[in-house]
Structure 1
């Protein structure tokens, strides 16, 4: 025998109550199923498979033996970019060979390594730390975006300067065939890259309405007394590297990846890629530049 009781003033039997409860459960289930499912953003800014709407930034840092600068760079960039809600990862492209440092070729390697999984790259010096929060690292949808402009860079102020920190979409970097591989030693690779962008009719954009200047927009942590620039010129290097390179680029950069490591600095994740750059000594014999013999003074 079913028991009966009062429900909101009505006399209801146990069987009727069961029917009402099942009906109410069915209606609520249909209502909840109709609500949209919105994926939550990851809280630590690591790339997540549940993130669909945001563009992903690969920070490419050409690197050799600057560990004290790296220890300062990584925490600073995490703190700076987390304020902007940027989805990013830092890739340290470390040159591990006996040749002179080749910043452009290392950036080419970084592009190749990240192009399948990231939407744009930041060509970023390890010794240049942004201080002004109005310097935005968002997706450069309107063209290459030079964050460290001549008006705010601590050292370089000529109009065609695009070194330091440059954001560029993967397809635009690929369009201009990346950077020249001819620049062993310090300097001029950015100037040649500017000409590549100009030839491709890609206008370089820069931050606007920045009220800080060369002294307080960035912090330049390079110690030139401890680590001198390799400005030597050997063989016919000076003549070749003053012209636009229409031969080499990302399509023919010669390298080997010896190892890849996921590294934590202050619990912050980065990827270190150890790269051997292979020099064509017929084309660029200045990849190794012997020190001139010291002349003994005659007493």
Structure 2
């Protein structure tokens, strides 16, 4: 019995010696983990790391309110007063109301990871009253949808007739395609306001979405089935595939009909959501009509691959980060520059 105990003690002693020797041999491999200290240079990386740990935002966030959104059609009715010039600083009340908006009209939800990165292009000239109401209405609505977005107001600064298609093409090339910061682009008339935040501005999975189907009480599917104007959302690759908008429509009319032809002839097509697509139109002075629009429309049926994004010419005159939007100033030339293909 005593002999067995003695043998056990010897074995334990030998085992302790073996463990001690192993620890000495491997001592250099044992290091305490130091806490990560973020320097100024690593802040960007730390933000990326934190974002990756956030949950994904819901497709239909809980704070959506449906068609209960108030629609204001006059600047005098707005609860929050704007400064006279939208490029200048906001009033104190407006700063509080838009406190979540970053400079340049950018927003990203802080509590979840947005499913869509959306660039919103608003073609613009001489519609300041409409623009104020548009910004007042759209920012809260888009924030409730929990998407990451930036509003770009692209202004035609030369005095020739308004060319919406050319403005939208130039803005797409300059601020959407070059930056690579967006998954999709929304082309949005400044005088149209969605009445329902369930009308989602998130990126479509595949085909473009036409959102402004019902304006007021008029269902344009019945009276104008080829309409794709007003509010149209593209994934970037699809907008490139159809070669963008035509650059040849100076003045009001038919550039959206040409877009319908491009969508159909390219095979890209488009979808229209069934519900929640009611818009209100703001009052404004009509643009000068394009008396040549029917002829240009017919000529464009077979030429969409030859004219559009691949023939756009413009001069960027400035990009200004205003409090509620990024102001893009474009010189898009004269009518005679683009009427020939």
TM-score above 0.5, yes or no: yes
Whether the 8 Å CA contact 1:95–1:274 is kept in 2: the answer is yes
Residue 307 of structure 2: aligned partner: 248
38 and 180 in structure 1: CA distance in 2 versus 1, 3 angstrom threshold = same
Deviation at 1:137, TM superposition (A): 0.8
Residue 96 of structure 2: aligned partner: none
258 and 232 in structure 1: CA distance in 2 versus 1, 3 angstrom threshold = same
Count residues with an aligned counterpart: 239
Pairing 1:1-299 to 2, within 5 Å after superposition: 38-39=53-54, 44=101, 46=107, 54-112=115-173, 113-115=175-177, 116-149=180-213, 154=218, 156=220, 157-210=223-276, 217-223=278-284, 227-233=285-291, 238-243=294-299, 244=301, 245-246=303-304, 247-264=306-323, 269-279=324-334, 281=336, 284=339
Moved more, 108-117 or 88-97: 108-117
- Residue aligned with 2:298, SS: coil
- Residue aligned with 2:310, SS: coil
Whether the 8 Å CA contact 1:154–1:220 is kept in 2: the answer is no
Whether the 8 Å CA contact 2:56–2:115 is kept in 1: the answer is no
Note the residue ranges of structure 2 that are not aligned, 5 or more in a row: 1-31, 36-50, 58-99
- Residue aligned with 2:261, SS: helix
Moved more, 109-118 or 124-133: 109-118
State the superposition RMSD in angstroms: 3.1
Whether the 8 Å CA contact 2:216–2:281 is kept in 1: the answer is no
- Residue aligned with 1:59, SS: strand
CA distance in 2, matches of 1:181, 1:91: 19
Whether the 8 Å CA contact 1:58–1:91 is kept in 2: the answer is yes
Whether the 8 Å CA contact 2:119–2:182 is kept in 1: the answer is yes
Deviation at 1:110, TM superposition (A): 1.5
Return the TM-score normalized by structure 1.
0.71
171 and 282 in structure 1: CA distance in 2 versus 1, 3 angstrom threshold = closer
Deviations 1:194-232 (A, max 9, x none): 11111121221111234x8xxxx2111033xxx123114
218 and 181 in structure 1: CA distance in 2 versus 1, 3 angstrom threshold = same
- Residue aligned with 1:281, SS: helix
In terms of fraction of residues, the more helix-rich structure is 2
Whether the 8 Å CA contact 1:150–1:161 is kept in 2: the answer is no
